[in-house]
Structure 1
Amino acid sequence: MEQIGFEFDVQPRRLSKVSPARLATFDDCPRRYRLAYLERPTPQRTGPWAHSTLGAVVHNALRALFDLPVRKRTPQRAAALVTAQWKDAGFADAAQAAIYRERAQGWVSDYVESNDVEMDPVGLERWVSAPVNPETGEHANPTMIIEGRADRIDQRGRELVIVDYKTGKRAPDEHEARASQALAMYAVAAARTLRMPCHRVELHHLPSGTIAAAEHTPDSLRRQLVRAEETAGDVRNATDTLEAAGEQDAADSAFPPRPSRRCSWCDFRPSCPAGQQAAPASKSWDLLAP
């Protein structure tokens, strides 16, 4: 989506609105980006994935937990919230779903037992947005608008902290937290939206109970924004090419497939012959942590 900005004595500038999800989708596979965000009606997709269902349940349970008064944020209530939020979508059968429901209950109850849940976050599933210019700083004319929804934003002392929940197979480390473009974008946007410094980002891995944290510097945040702007420029050029041509050949050229093993579990596999040829189809529960 494009937005027109106006300033006196300055040519109108198109500001691209970019989110971590859109940028990551384009980086992974331009064709998937087109199918997800540009094609209308949206092409055929796969059914639900069990690992996505599991992640959504845990996220929703923790959000509901922090909406409760502090005295009610107990391990038992956390486990009950998993039950209340639970869905079986994507699991092999009811028996497998029951196994992972019990695991998720243990994850969130252990999380409440091991972490401080008495503070009230300043944001839960909070949408943050900010105009930025990666090259010349906060007060320069913006070149794009970054936006997205952060799982949780804490205030610790006089600074904000971005918290992102993970339920995947592998526990993340400090490098992954520092390298996450999404967390960096949330940190910048949260600082501008809430008008407080934000440099610390954390990945909370529920299955292992570990927390991977990183402290950003102004330079490391700027590098992530520069990378985001480069991808945003590629998206804009591809979109302009498609709009100018309006033909299927142009769509395939501007948004080519990028086949990889990820094609096995791509949502748009049913609508992408290149993905079908690149890798065998995964079962909807194959990405669950063992």
Structure 2
Amino acid sequence: MAQLSLDGMPRRLFSCTPTRLAAFEDCPRRYRMTYVDRPAPPKGPPWAHASLGVSVHNALHRWWDEPEPRRTPERAAELVRACWVREGWRDAEQSAAVRERAAAMCARYAAGLDPAAAPRAVERQVATRTEVLALHGRVDRLDERAGELVVVDYKTGRRPPEDGDARTSVALALYAFAAERMLRQRCRRVELHHLPSGRVVTAEHTDESLARHVRRAESVAVDAVAAAEGLAAGQPADVAFPPRPGPLCSWCDLRRHCPEGRAAGPELAPWAGVEYLAEASGEAAAPPPAS
């Protein structure tokens, strides 16, 4: 694991993705079990909402790989069916019902795209370094508009993003920061595209706003390394990496290993997060995590 001094100056750069940084902010215990413990404890069963997200992302990736005449709404729906991930569903009937709703959702989204306006890249790895971080991650889509790059992030969860969500997203800011440095082209606009509602939320970053997000990411990295060093020095695991129980514990892959997490929220069926797209089941689902 990369080591940093507590004053923020690196002995070795901290290699991370925005997801890894967010994991420590959300719950240090979950971060420890995911990134520090070896062997890592086994996770719970796959989530249907994760399968939905993967299916849609893969379909839209392949849609842009099609020749321009085949970039049609109908083809988007076909690709959802071809890319469908069958894990986490209650049964084959529910899987098929949500698949068809997802196919219709992607067809509606594709109908609003210009098939001739191919992105600069789809599912593109970007990476850069700061004095503290060796940052990398995968961007859903990089558009090029008026000579500048635009970060586009697809969302498939139940809740449409709010107006400020693109501006406050550390992940989007870090993607823009990395893309601009790596590709040597200005990248300040970030967008959340919520496919179920068609809502698009945007933000225009400045040098100052990107710098704030980078400083926050570096601060999280320093805290994560300090926790790991404390653990290695003999500090109890729950002191170095305390749990942070809350509503999201119901959606945690590692809740079976966390008494505080189990007490914080009910256990949910793997398909609870997609009931907004499935046929009515008569059961009320807790809000799913953002996806």
Taking structure 2 as the reference length, the TM-score comes to 0.89
CA distance in 2, matches of 1:124, 1:3: 33
SS of residue matched to 1:53? helix
Note the C-alpha offset of 1:120. Answer: 2.2
- Write out per-residue CA displacement over residues 19-50 of structure 1, whole angstroms, 9 at most, x where no aligned residue: 11011111110000011111122202110111
CA distance in 2, matches of 1:174, 1:129: 27
Question: Could you say which residue in structure 2 is the equivalent of 1:76?
Answer: 74
Note the C-alpha offset of 1:3. Answer: 7.5
Question: Could you say which residue in structure 1 is the equivalent of 2:158?
Answer: 169
Question: Could you say which residue in structure 1 is the equivalent of 2:198?
Answer: 209
1:69-108 equivalence runs, <5 A: 69-108=67-106
CA distance in 1, matches of 2:178, 2:251: 31
SS of residue matched to 2:102? helix
Gaps of 5+ in 2: 277-291
Question: Could you say which residue in structure 1 is the equivalent of 2:257?
Answer: 271
SS of residue matched to 1:42? coil
Q: Contact 1:3 / 1:17 at 8 angstroms: preserved in 2?
A: no
1:202-241 equivalence runs, <5 A: 202-241=191-230
Q: Taking structure 1 as reference, are residues 59 and 12 closer, same or farther at Cα in structure 2, changes over 3 Å only? A: closer
CA distance in 2, matches of 1:150, 1:77: 23
Question: Could you say which residue in structure 2 is the equivalent of 1:26?
Answer: 24
CA distance in 2, matches of 1:13, 1:29: 25
CA distance in 2, matches of 1:39, 1:27: 17
Q: Does 1:242 align with 2:240?
A: no
Question: Could you say which residue in structure 2 is the equivalent of 1:135?
Answer: none
Segment of structure 1 superposing worse, 27-36 or 14-23: 14-23
Question: Could you say which residue in structure 1 is the equivalent of 2:40?
Answer: 42
Question: Could you say which residue in structure 1 is the equivalent of 2:284?
Answer: none
Give the AA of the match of 1:2: A
Question: Could you say which residue in structure 1 is the equivalent of 2:2?
Answer: 2
SS of residue matched to 1:89? coil
Aligned CA-pair RMSD: 1.6
Note the C-alpha offset of 1:289. Answer: 5.2
Q: Does 1:152 align with 2:141?
A: yes
CA distance in 1, matches of 2:272, 2:94: 12
SS of residue matched to 1:154? strand
Segment of structure 1 superposing worse, 81-90 or 249-258: 249-258
Note the C-alpha offset of 1:143. Answer: 2.7
Question: Could you say which residue in structure 1 is the equivalent of 2:283?
Answer: none
CA distance in 2, matches of 1:211, 1:241: 43
Give the AA of the match of 2:265: A
Note the C-alpha offset of 1:276. Answer: 1.5
What percent identity do the matched residue pairs reach?
50
Q: Contact 2:3 / 2:10 at 8 angstroms: preserved in 1?
A: no
Question: Could you say which residue in structure 1 is the equivalent of 2:286?
Answer: none
Give the AA of the match of 2:159: R
Question: Could you say which residue in structure 2 is the equivalent of 1:288?
Answer: 274
CA distance in 2, matches of 1:117, 1:251: 52
Q: Contact 2:54 / 2:85 at 8 angstroms: preserved in 1?
A: no
- Write out per-residue CA displacement over residues 55-91 of structure 1, whole angstroms, 9 at most, x where no aligned residue: 1100000001111111111111111111111122111
Question: Could you say which residue in structure 1 is the equivalent of 2:287?
Answer: none
- Write out per-residue CA displacement over residues 173-227 of structure 1, whole angstroms, 9 at most, x where no aligned residue: 3300111000000000000111000000000111011211111111111111111
Note the C-alpha offset of 1:251. Answer: 1.6
Aligned length: 272
Give the AA of the match of 2:33: L
Taking structure 1 as the reference length, the TM-score comes to 0.90
Give the AA of the match of 2:200: I
Give the AA of the match of 1:225: V
Q: Contact 1:2 / 1:14 at 8 angstroms: preserved in 2?
A: yes
Gaps of 5+ in 1: 5-10, 133-141
